[in-house]
Structures are given as structure tokens and as C-alpha cells.
Amino acid sequence: MTERLLTSTHLFAGGGGDACGFDGSGFGVAVAVNHVTPAVETLRAAFPSCDTRQADITKLDFRSLPRTRVLVGSPICKEVSPAGSNRAEKAQTELTVQPSPGQEGKTDWSLTRMTAYDLLRAAEVHDYDVVCGENVPRFATTWRLFDPWLRMWAALDYHIQIVDADAAFLADPGFPGVPQHRRRLLFCFTHKRLKRQPDLRVRPPAECRVCGPVVALQRWAKPHARKIVHGGQSAVFVCPNRRCGHLPVTPTARPLADVLEPGLPTRRIGDGKYVHKFVPYAEETRRKVEIGLRRFGGAPFIVVLRRNCTVLGMDEPLGTITAEGNHFAYIEPAATVDDSGLRMLSIREKARAQGFDDDHPLRGTGTEKNRLIGNAVPVTAAGWMSRRVAEVCS
């Protein structure tokens, strides 16, 4: 195999989403570290020539790692994610760290925030050209030390770039985004010795009702992106042309039909589901199926098993795939709710919605695979970032 000039180190590497994205952009994935066995086994199978290590990263001596050009790492975000009820006191740390004296049985916010400092520790040792990763937007709004954390990167002579983006809209010509709305805060720290910083403007394809197909511009409700991140407000997209007055546009996103596997068996809803024994489906589930039957007629659709959500058509993206639970049910419609068929999305379908190829070797039990998928950085989002990083590192 030809040796690649651009190399990357991946901390909190999980199921390999960011590693796959960087590999697809021409990087040599040289180092990958994670603390759980299924992730390490997945990484070793996917990248056999990579130096893959199983370790508690908070205790890792970074002098033991070879230096690469780029460091990629997304600190743990479970306690501020929607899937974690946005409550730090209910989150469970995914690292094997000891609680503070007298705090046994409680989640210590500071323990999981330690993972953000691990990126700094690695950069202090290896002086990477670029450090990048992602987190949920509330990483910036809820963690009180976010601004001091950024100042530490400035002290290490890094330029700071923060992007608030939906993975569904991180697309390039020939590189479609994922069919999944997944809003994340992307960060990219570029060392000042490099001549320029990556162009991280989000420019997805869109359709303007006046101008037709365009490449959309991202605009903020307030003038400074950092203030938007702190305010928890998303960007809006507008047409780039003056002639229409920069009308608001909705970026084009891949449909969920792209990842579905036709022909998988469903179970008749009237027969119930098996939970140690067969039990009827919840009334709320049946209500949502009824909504879908009225809205989509005889076409299949997705029921979203979350609060404040109902149904999706095949031409829409999914909502965010999480590490815990399966929230998307495929419905094969019939004349009545009872006669309609239901199945949950498969592991492979959810992996596709995160951008993984079908031959990506996920390891572990079904529950462990779901966690690897739900916690992953979408492959296409990592590819979007890595293509831009490659341009300034070449």
C-alpha cells in the first residue's frame, strides 16, 4: 500500500466514523484509541495497519503515541445531549474513572469534561498542525469552562474556528450528506504556522423559488457565529443571488429511502410486539400510525417513537440517531392500523444513515453496535471536514 503523506490520530474513535471520513479523503489513519472492546475490535478490523489501542484516554501518556499531522477527537457529550435528557446529573460517564470522595453513585460533570482537556494534553505533546472534532451545541452553552478551553488553544498558537452545522447539509459535489438531521458544533484548531485556515463555510445545494438550483449561503440571526452558538440558535440558509433579495431556502437533503432495505419482514400491528410475551402496541404508537395512514395513503412511512414527533415520509431525512434505543419504526401500510406491518430500523440501516458502507465491520452485540452507531461522527461529516483540512495541510 502506498504510504500517505497526510496522517491522522483519532481519540474517542468509537465505531470509526471520523476515521472512515478521513481515510476517504486520503489521510492515513495512523492511530486510533478507544476505551471499550467492541470499538477497538471494530477499528482493528476496519483499519488493520493502524496502531489501535484500548485505553482510558484520561490516563493515556500521549508521549507513547507517534506524531501525526492531524488530531481528531470528539469529547464525550452524553450529559448535554438530547438523548441524555440534557441533565448532567442523570448521565452516566462512559469512562472508567473513580468518583470524588463522597460522590459515589453520582455523575461528576467534571469527570466527563476531562475528555475535552485530553485533546489539549495531546496537542501540547505533539504540536499537531490541526486539531478537530465535534460535539453537541450545548457543549458550548452548558459547560462553563468552554471559553477558557478555547483560550488554552489560543495559548498553544492555534487559530480557532467554530461551526454550527447539520450533518444532513454537510455535502459537496459527489459527496452527499447523510439522510439524517444531526445538528452538531464542529471545532477546528489550525496551528498558526500553517499559511491558511480551512474554509468551513457550510454551502449545501438548495432550491430557490426564484433562481432555481443554487448553492446556499449560511447566515446568522446575529452578526457573530460564536454568539449564536452560545444562544443555542441555528443558522439559516439564503439564496446567494441579489436578484431575489437573498430569499430564505431549505438545503436539499438526502431522503431516508436511500438507506432502507426493502423486503425485510414486518409484524402485523394487531398481533402486538414481543416483550417477554406478546403485548399490544401503545396507544400513542397506534395514533401515530393512524396519522401516517391518512397522510401518506398507501405509501410506506416512518413512525418516530419520540415525544413531539409523529411520522416521516420516504423523501425526508431521519431525525438524530442516538446510542440508546431504537426510535424509528418502518410501517408497511394497509387498510387499518391493525393490518399494517411494523418493524424497527435494522442496525445496518442506521449505520447507512450515519454514512457507513455496508462492509464496515461493526463488532459486538446488537446493543453494542447500536451504541457504536449512535455515538459515531457521521462519515460524511468527517469527510467534509477532512477534505478542507487536507487543503491547508498539503
Tens-place pLDDT, residues 215-241:
999 887 554 444 444 434 467 899 999
Q: Is residue 355 part of a domain?
A: no
The pLDDT of residue 275 is: 78
**Which range is least confidently modeled, 16-25, 51-60, 270-279, 296-305?**
270-279
Rg of the chain in Å (alpha carbons): 22
Q: Average pLDDT for residues 50-70, to the nearest whole number? A: 95
Residue 8, SS3?
strand
Q: Which three cell numbers stand for residue 265?
A: 419482514
The pair phi, psi for residue 9, each rounded to 5°, is: -110, 135
Express each pLDDT in 310-356 by its tens digit. 999 999 999 999 988 789 999 999 999 999 999 999 999 999 999 99
C-alpha 28/C-alpha 122 separation (Å) is: 19
Q: Which three cell numbers stand for residue 244?
A: 431575489
Q: Which band of pLDDT confidence, cut at 50, 70 and 90, is reported for residue 116? A: very high
The pLDDT of residue 105 is: 41
Residues 274 and 382 placed together within one structural domain of the fold: no
Residues 141 and 210 placed together within one structural domain of the fold: no
Residues 137 and 51 placed together within one structural domain of the fold: yes
Q: Is residue 156 part of a domain?
A: yes
Please check the confidence at residue 4 and state whether its pLDDT lies above 80: no
Residues 65 and 157 placed together within one structural domain of the fold: yes
Residues 167 and 217 placed together within one structural domain of the fold: no
The pLDDT of residue 78 is: 57
Q: Is residue 381 part of a domain?
A: yes
CATH number of the structural domain spanning residue 38: 3.40.50.150
The pLDDT of residue 176 is: 86
Residues 272 and 328 placed together within one structural domain of the fold: yes
Q: Is the dihedral of CA 73, 76, 81, 83 positive or negative?
A: positive
Residues 176 and 49 placed together within one structural domain of the fold: yes
Residues 13 and 147 placed together within one structural domain of the fold: yes
Q: Is residue 225 part of a domain?
A: yes
Counting the structural domains of the chain, the total is 3
pTM value is: 0.87
Domain encompassing residue 238: 205-251
Q: Is residue 2 part of a domain?
A: no
* H/E run at residue 373: helix 366-375
Express each pLDDT in 280-293 by its tens digit. 999 999 999 999 99
Catalytic status, residue 77: yes
Please check the confidence at residue 77 and state whether its pLDDT lies above 80: no
Residues 209 and 285 placed together within one structural domain of the fold: no
Q: Which three cell numbers stand for residue 278?
A: 406478546
Please check the confidence at residue 171 and state whether its pLDDT lies above 70: yes
Residue 95, SS3?
coil
Residues 137 and 85 placed together within one structural domain of the fold: yes
Q: Average pLDDT for residues 176-184, to the nearest whole number? A: 93
Residues 163 and 229 placed together within one structural domain of the fold: no
The pLDDT of residue 111 is: 52
Q: Is residue 285 part of a domain?
A: yes
Query: In whole numbers, what is the pLDDT of the chain averaged over residues?
Result: 87
Determine which one of 77, 132, 188, 393 is catalytic: 77
Q: Is residue 93 part of a domain?
A: yes
* H/E run at residue 42: helix 37-46
Please check the confidence at residue 15 and state whether its pLDDT lies above 90: yes
